[in-house]
Amino acid sequence: MSYSDNHRPAAEATISHMRRIRSEDEFDRPVFKWVGGKFSALPIIFEHLPHGKRLIEPFVGGGAVFTNAGFKSNLLNDINNDLINFYQTLQREGHSLITLAYRFFQDYNSADAFLNVRNAFNNGAYDSLHHAAAFLYLNRHCFNGVTRYNRKGEFNVGYGKQKSPHFPLAEMEAFLADDISKYSEFVSGDFAGVIEAAGNDDVIFCDPPYEPLPDTTGFTNYSGHSFRFEDQQRLVSLLVDAHRRGAKIVITNSGAPNIRELYVGNGFKVYPMPSRRSVSCKASTRMIANDIIATLN
């Protein structure tokens, strides 16, 4: 995989707006509803995210950070091919995708229609444009926006029974109108590829699958790929190497003791990041978790 300099303008990113502490209603919402998404944590993240010429996200997920960070060059990776196909299709065929996705939302808002779309999606019946529209539809119509796959790589989340799921028109139009699309390169693969591409004055923001807390099972394979502590260790090793090449590092994770020890032992500064857990279907049962954000600058 090669990463050209086409997405690296000579002028450095002007991201002074990140230095203001903003409330949630001042940020642009991402296109996807995403488990572990960082929209509500953006004020804390932007306190720690430094300036740089390019933002690299090895785990882009729902995209709340790059959508609001204001970098003039973004290298964005995720192991979820369906997610990256959506972003790439939105770049290439933005208005066609918006129109088609809207038809999905209008025509298929029932349990039976959801299952039909999910089956076609899993069976490879769609071209890339229809696949992208179906992925957005499934994300917004499934239970609580949980994007999860079985061992066969099939999307297996059930119907969410929402009366009128949100269609993210404004979010997609902002992606196109704000030139985020122009400044972004999307790739799909293991996190190592984009981290190894990092160099001087790049900023890497990592939001990996969180390490389970002691005495909990956790769940770290939403994309059909498990993420073990050995992967956390490999990730940190790659980040330390990137830092030696001049990159600046910001990473989030759970407050698990082995994660704190791993980060501190490799020179990271660790800060608290209270976060709302949002998988529960009832707002009253959603908990505040003692997550962390760590930097290597």
- Does 78 belong to an annotated binding site? yes
- Does 34 belong to an annotated binding site? yes
Residue 169: pLDDT band (50, 70, 90) is very high
Name the residue among 109, 82, 99, 39 with its Cα closest to residue 252. 39
Mean pLDDT of 182-200: 97
Q: What is the pLDDT of residues 82-107, one digit of tens each?
A: 999 999 999 999 999 999 999 999 99
Q: What is the pLDDT of residues 133-156, one digit of tens each?
A: 999 999 999 998 899 999 999 999
Stated pTM of the model: 0.87
Question: What residues contact residue 221 under an 8 Å CB cut-off, 6+ apart?
Answer: 209, 227
Domains and CATH numbers, the chain: 30-79+189-296 (3.40.50.150), 84-168 (1.10.1020.10)
Pairing of strands 202-206, 248-253: parallel
Exposure string for 237-246, b = 16+ CB within 10 A, e = fewer: ebbeebbeee
- Does 107 belong to an annotated binding site? no
**Has residue 295 got a pLDDT over 80?**
yes
pLDDT of residue 30: 94
pLDDT of residue 220: 55
Rounded to whole angstroms, the Cα distance separating 45 from 285 reads: 25
- Does 231 belong to an annotated binding site? no
